[in-house]
A and B are shown apart, each in its own frame.
Chain A
Amino acid sequence: MAFEALTDKFSKIIKRLKGEHKLTESNMDSILKDIKLALLEADVNFKVVKDFIAKIKEKCLGLDVYDKLNPSEMVVKIVREELTTLLGSGKSDIFYQNNRTTKIMLVGLQGSGKTTTAAKLAYLLKSKLNKKVMLAACDVYRLAAIDQLKELANNIGVTLFEMGTNVSPVEIAKKADEAARLGLYDVLIIDTAGRLSIDEELMQELNDITNTIQIDEKLLVVDALSGQESLNVANSFNEKVGLTGVIMTKLDGDSRGGAALSIASATSLGIKFAGVGEKISDLDIFYPDRMADRILGMGDILTLVDKVSENIDEKEAKKSVNKLIEGRFTLDDMLKQMKQIQKMGSMKGLLKLIPGMPSISDEQQELLNKEMRNFEAIINSMTPEERENPSILKNSRKVRIAKGSGKTNADINRVLKKYDQMQMVMKQMKGKKGGMLPPGFKF
Chain B
Amino acid sequence: MGFFDKLREKFKKKDKSLETYDSGLKESRDAFTNRLKKLSKKYSKINEEYFEEIEEILISADCGVSFTMKIMEELVEKAKKEKIDSPDEINELLFSIIFSSYLKDDEETNKDLSFDKKPEIILVCGVNGVGKTTTIAKLAHRYISLGKKVLLIAADTFRAGAKEQLTYWSEKINANIVSGKENSDPASVVYNGLEECKKNDYDLIIIDTAGRLQNKVNLMNELKKIGKVIEKEGFTLDESFLIIDATTGQNGVLQAKAFKEILPLTGIILTKMDGTSKGGIILSIKNELDIPVRFIGLGEKMDDLELFDLSKYIHGLIENE
- Residues in A whose Cβ lies below 8 Å from that of B56: 46
- Residues in B whose Cβ lies below 8 Å from that of A151: 160-161, 182
Q: Tell me if B274 counts as interface (CB < 8 A to partner A).
A: yes
Q: Across the two chains, which residue of chain B brings its CB closest to A226?
A: B247
Min Cβ gap A348→B in Å is 10
B161 touches A147 (CB 8 A): yes
- Residues in A whose Cβ lies below 8 Å from that of B162: 144, 148
Query: In whole angstroms, what is the CA distance A258 to B252 when docked?
Result: 13
Query: In whole angstroms, what is the CA distance A198 to B274 when docked?
Result: 10
B159 touches A143 (CB 8 A): no
Min Cβ gap B129→A in Å is 3
- Residues in B whose Cβ lies below 8 Å from that of A45: 60
A362 touches B130 (CB 8 A): no
Q: Tell me if B217 counts as interface (CB < 8 A to partner A).
A: yes
Q: Tell me if B277 counts as interface (CB < 8 A to partner A).
A: yes
B164 touches A147 (CB 8 A): yes
Min Cβ gap A177→B in Å is 24
Most B CB atoms within 10 A — which of A143, A236, A254? Answer: A143
Chain A 243-285 against B: per-residue CB contact (8 Å), 1 yes, 0 no? 0000000101111101100000000000000000010000000
Q: Tell me if B121 counts as interface (CB < 8 A to partner A).
A: no
Q: Tell me if A196 counts as interface (CB < 8 A to partner B).
A: yes
Q: Tell me if A232 counts as interface (CB < 8 A to partner B).
A: yes
Query: Which of B36-44, B192-200, B208-216 interfaces with chain A?
Result: B208-216
A253 touches B249 (CB 8 A): no
Query: Of A110, A250, A259, which one neighbours B213 at CB under 8 angstroms?
Result: A250
- Residues in B whose Cβ lies below 8 Å from that of A258: 249-250
Min Cβ gap A301→B in Å is 24
Query: In whole angstroms, what is the CA distance A319 to B43 when docked?
Result: 68
Chain A 131-154 against B: per-residue CB contact (8 Å), 1 yes, 0 no? 000000000001111111111100
- Residues in A whose Cβ lies below 8 Å from that of B247: 109, 223, 226-227, 229-230, 233
B275 touches A111 (CB 8 A): no
- Residues in A whose Cβ lies below 8 Å from that of B274: 196
A41 touches B250 (CB 8 A): yes
Q: Indicate whether A198 sits within 8 Å of B213 (C-beta atoms), given known contacts A226-B249, A227-B248, A228-B61.
A: no
Q: Tell me if A37 counts as interface (CB < 8 A to partner B).
A: yes
- Residues in A whose Cβ lies below 8 Å from that of B182: 151
Most B CB atoms within 10 A — which of A37, A155, A278, A362? Answer: A278
Query: Of B129, B164, B251, B276, which one neighbours A43 at CB under 8 angstroms?
Result: B251
- Residues in B whose Cβ lies below 8 Å from that of A232: 276
Q: Across the two chains, which residue of chain A brings its CB closest to B182?
A: A151
Q: Tell me if A40 counts as interface (CB < 8 A to partner B).
A: yes
Q: Tell me if B186 counts as interface (CB < 8 A to partner A).
A: no
Q: Tell me if B281 counts as interface (CB < 8 A to partner A).
A: yes
B62 touches A228 (CB 8 A): yes
A255 touches B161 (CB 8 A): no
Chain A 44-69 against B: per-residue CB contact (8 Å), 1 yes, 0 no? 01100000000000000000000000
Query: In whole angstroms, what is the CA distance A251 to B38 when docked?
Result: 36
Query: Of B128, B214, B275, which one neighbours A109 at CB under 8 angstroms?
Result: B275
B165 touches A142 (CB 8 A): yes
Q: How many A-B residue pairs have CB under 8 A?
A: 145
- Residues in B whose Cβ lies below 8 Å from that of A155: 160
Query: Of A143, A150, A152, which one neighbours B169 at CB under 8 angstroms?
Result: A143
- Residues in B whose Cβ lies below 8 Å from that of A150: 161
Q: Across the two chains, which residue of chain B brings its CB closest to A114?
A: B129
How many residues of B are in contact with the other chain, CB < 8 A?
47
- Residues in A whose Cβ lies below 8 Å from that of B272: 109-111
Chain A 380-422 against B: per-residue CB contact (8 Å), 1 yes, 0 no? 0000000000000000000000000000000000000000000
Q: Tell me if A112 counts as interface (CB < 8 A to partner B).
A: yes
Min Cβ gap A189→B in Å is 16
Q: Tell me if A363 counts as interface (CB < 8 A to partner B).
A: yes
A143 touches B250 (CB 8 A): no
Q: Which B residues, 158 to 212, have Cβ-Cβ distances below 8 Å to chain A?
A: 158-162, 164-165, 167-169, 182
Query: In whole angstroms, what is the CA distance A152 to B160 when docked?
Result: 7
Query: In whole angstroms, what is the CA distance A157 to B279 when docked?
Result: 40
- Residues in B whose Cβ lies below 8 Å from that of A197: 276
B249 touches A228 (CB 8 A): yes
Query: In whole angstroms, what is the CA distance A151 to B183 when docked?
Result: 13
Min Cβ gap A111→B in Å is 3
Min Cβ gap A152→B in Å is 5
Query: In whole angstroms, what is the CA distance A110 to B276 when docked?
Result: 13
B65 touches A40 (CB 8 A): yes
Min Cβ gap B18→A in Å is 22
Query: In whole angstroms, what is the CA distance A94 to B145 when docked?
Result: 50
A252 touches B213 (CB 8 A): yes
A253 touches B250 (CB 8 A): no
Query: Of B160, B248, B275, B281, which one neighbours A198 at CB under 8 angstroms?
Result: B275
- Residues in B whose Cβ lies below 8 Å from that of A148: 159-162, 164-165
Min Cβ gap B299→A in Å is 11
- Residues in A whose Cβ lies below 8 Å from that of B169: 143
- Residues in A whose Cβ lies below 8 Å from that of B129: 110-113, 223, 250
B276 touches A233 (CB 8 A): yes
Q: Tell me if A106 counts as interface (CB < 8 A to partner B).
A: no
Min Cβ gap A252→B in Å is 6
B276 touches A147 (CB 8 A): no
- Residues in B whose Cβ lies below 8 Å from that of A253: 127, 213-215, 251
Min Cβ gap B77→A in Å is 21
Query: In whole angstroms, what is the CA distance A327 to B292 when docked?
Result: 57
Most A CB atoms within 10 A — which of B158, B215, B280? Answer: B215
Query: In whole angstroms, what is the CA distance A227 to B280 when docked?
Result: 10
Can you give 18 contacting A-B residue pairs, CB < 8 Å? A43-B249, A46-B56, A109-B247, A111-B128, A111-B131, A112-B129, A143-B165, A144-B168, A149-B160, A223-B129, A225-B255, A226-B277, A227-B247, A227-B277, A228-B60, A229-B278, A253-B127, A361-B217
Interchain residue pairs A-B with the least CB separation, the first 7: A148-B161, A227-B249, A111-B129, A43-B249, A144-B165, A362-B217, A151-B160
Binding site for A on B (CB under 8 A): 27, 56, 59-62, 64-65, 127-131, 158-162, 164-165, 167-169, 182, 213-218, 245, 247-252, 254-255, 272, 274-278, 280-281
